[in-house]
């Protein structure tokens, strides 16, 4: 990345969960295919499911059903399919997922710098909190907002603006870190700075297509940039 000094007045960091801190696609893969088995549908590959991740459980389930059903039939099946998926997901949440390299080290470095940390995810809060706890990440964050914590989720700027208000910081004092265009669009609209990680999901699109302030290979690299 260039222009490292653009991060010299950052006082808080907003970090995405799925695809940024934790590789959760294997959890989605298991839970979705357990749901599909109950609906007598063929299993989907993890590659297909990964492309659907990032805009919340409702969007995920509509995309999953859309593989087999028309738009009208998707809506007819939606409520039961979502409830079935959520039941399975809660049972296996975190069992098949893993923390990405550099995440713990990056969070430790950010905390040592005195940065205030928030996790903002489109994952339902009832999934996000147990996952953060199971992976040993919950103690790093003052705030955690899920996709159903506020009236609107990313890419709407509301979650970022809410963190800004809660931390009593201006949006420009916040850096958002995420793996998808959702994170960047929300940050841009809120007036926050934003960097992307290259290893996440981003709806199947290349990370280079994201309008961000740069690409960082890990949260630890992001912490180094802020410190510099």
Domain boundaries, the chain: 4-23+98-227, 25-92
pLDDT tens digits, residue range 162-183? Answer: 999 999 999 999 999 999 999 9
Cα of 191 vs its chain's centroid, Å: 19
Q: What percent of the chain has pLDDT over 70?
A: 98
Task: Identify the bridge partners of residue 15 per DSSP, sorted by sequence position.
Answer: 119, 177
Q: Which has the closest alpha carbon to 111: 220, 2, 228?
A: 220
pLDDT at 1: 39
The DSSP output letter for 149 is: S
Mean pLDDT of 85-105: 97
Q: Does domain 25-92 have CATH number 1.10.150?
A: yes
The pLDDT assigned to 167 comes to: 98
pLDDT at 203: 79
Q: CA 209, 50, 160, 212: dihedral to nearest 10 degrees?
A: -20
pLDDT, tens digit, for every residue of 97-150? 999 999 999 999 999 999 999 999 999 999 999 999 999 999 999 999 999 999
| Predicted confidence band of residue 5 (pLDDT cuts 50, 70, 90) | low
Q: Looking at the predicted structure, is the pLDDT value of residue 62 above 70? A: yes
Structure tokens at 197: 């990680």
The mean per-residue pLDDT over the stretch 194-220 comes to 93
Helix (H/G/I), strand (E/B), else coil: 194? strand
Residue 139: both structure tokens together: 């103690």
Angle made by CA atoms 63, 64, 67, in degrees to the nearest 5: 85
Question: Nearest-CA neighbor of 184 among 204, 160, 155, 162?
Answer: 155
Percentage with pLDDT > 90 across the chain: 91
Q: Distance between CA atoms of 121 and 117, rounded to whole angstroms?
A: 13
Does the pLDDT at position 3 exceed 70? no
Q: What is the pLDDT of residue 4?
A: 43
Q: Kind and range of the H or E element at 108?
A: helix 103-112
What pLDDT does 204 receive?
Answer: 79
Query: Residue 75 and residue 62: Cα distance in Å, rounded?
Result: 8
> Measured between alpha carbons, how far is 228 from 225 in angstroms, rounded to an integer?
5
For the annotated catalytic residues, the residue numbers are 16
In CATH, the number for domain 4-23+98-227 is 3.40.50.1000
Q: What is the mean pLDDT of residues 145-163?
A: 97
């Amino acid at each position: 990345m260039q222009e490292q000094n653009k991060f010299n007045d950052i006082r808080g960091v907003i970090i995405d969960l799925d695809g940024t801190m934790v590789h959760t696609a294997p959890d989605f893969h298991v839970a979705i295919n357990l749901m599909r088995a109950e609906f007598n549908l063929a299993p989907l590959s993890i590659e297909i499911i990964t492309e659907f991740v990032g805009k919340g459980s409702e969007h995920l389930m509509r995309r999953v059903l859309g593989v087999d059903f028309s738009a009208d039939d998707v809506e007819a099946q939606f409520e039961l399919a979502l409830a079935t998926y959520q039941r399975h997901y809660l049972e296996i949440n975190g069992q098949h997922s893993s923390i990405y390299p550099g995440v713990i080290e990056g969070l430790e470095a950010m905390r040592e710098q005195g940065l205030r940390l928030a996790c903002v995810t489109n994952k339902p809060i009832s999934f996000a909190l147990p996952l953060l706890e199971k992976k040993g990440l919950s103690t790093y964050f003052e705030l955690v907002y899920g996709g159903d914590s506020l009236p609107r989720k990313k890419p709407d700027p509301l979650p970022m603006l809410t963190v800004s208000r809660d931390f009593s910081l201006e949006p420009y004092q916040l850096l958002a870190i995420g793996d998808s265009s959702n994170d960047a669009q929300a940050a841009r609209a809120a007036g926050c700075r934003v960097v992307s990680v290259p290893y996440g999901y981003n709806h199947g699109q290349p990370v280079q297509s994201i309008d961000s302030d740069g690409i960082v290979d890990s949260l630890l690299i992001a912490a180094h940039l802020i410190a510099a």
